[in-house]
Amino acid sequence: MKAYVFPGQGSQFSGMGKDLYDRSDKAKSLFEKANEILGFDITNVMFTGTDEELKQTKVTQPAIFIHSVVLAKITENFNPDMVAGHSLGEFSALVANGTLSFEDGLKLVSKRALAMQRACEINPSTMAAILGLDDAKVEEICKSISDEIVVAANYNCPGQLVISGSMKGIEIACQKMKEAGAKRALPLPVGGAFHSPLMEPAREELAEAIKSTNFNNPLCPVYQNVNALPATDINIIKENLIAQLTAPVRWTQSVQNMVSDGATEFVECGPGKVLQGLVKKINSASEVMSI
């Protein structure tokens, strides 16, 4: 069985999507439609923008979504048995399996990006990658820091967990992780504590938009970040999508569940190759590739 997986923030690069635009009329019209929906020329930033310009939240999230979805839309024989996306990538996955239209998906991603940006401004906060400690130990250390917010945010693969929280909380946690034997405890260059309670203002803002968006019955299950379980019921999909901003991304568990449900081949659809690497670390027997 074939699983298609969609990347999240961090996989953007200057020139992304230009080859798709040049080779396919369908891609070209989707890129033009994206410019129209967003009200600015995002294709220009994707094709020629600097790293700095691409790093702006209002650009990064829509850019990765557009690249991933256009790639899926112009791929012949695109018939996933199951889909999943890492954080932002869950929205791309939901367009790929027919739950959301391209237009509605893009509008939600744009709202999500701006809401997250505002939440970051309300609560200055950050994230850090913890390498070489098991999940239970990382969770235990996060819980031990009672006067600051620090939580496990991204379960990327065994031995690689990203934590999220207040500036002070992350600083204390990194120190404690190193003392507990972590190989690395590395603060990340991100604008805020994504997938933590500090994203509550963004969750509330996005909840309204998700509730009023039309969701269709999916063509295949989506394994959602919040609980790593397959979903085809649109009410459950909506609830999980709303919960996603303040809950951890259970990527390790999602891939494990997809494998146990029969996935043998994982195809990464979007910029970069980050997810292929993670899938291999989670289950070395899986075949991985990108479109």
Active-site positions read 87, 195
Give the integer Cα–Cα distance in Å for 238 and 213.
Answer: 9
SS3 call for 119: helix
Gap between the Cα atoms of 175 and 251, Å rounded: 25
Structural contact between residues 83 and 223, judged by C-beta atoms closer than 8 angstroms: yes
Could you give the residue ranges of the DSSP H alpha helices within 39-56?
Answer: 42-48, 51-54
Q: Three-state DSSP class for 221?
A: coil
Dist. CA 222–CA 218, nearest whole Å:
8
Rounded to a whole number of angstroms, the distance between the first and last alpha carbons of the chain is: 16
41: part of which helix (H) or strand (E)? none
Which two tokens mark 179? 């003392």
Q: Which two tokens stand for residue 219?
A: 């063509």
Q: Please provide residue 96's backbone torsions phi and psi, each rounded to the nearest 5 degrees.
A: -60, -30
How far is 38 from 67, CA to CA, in rounded Å? Answer: 15
Answer for the pair 247, 224: CB distance below 8 angstroms, yes or no.
no
Q: Which residues on adjacent β-strands are paired with residue 160?
A: 131, 157
Distance, CA of 268 to CA of 270 (rounded, Å): 6
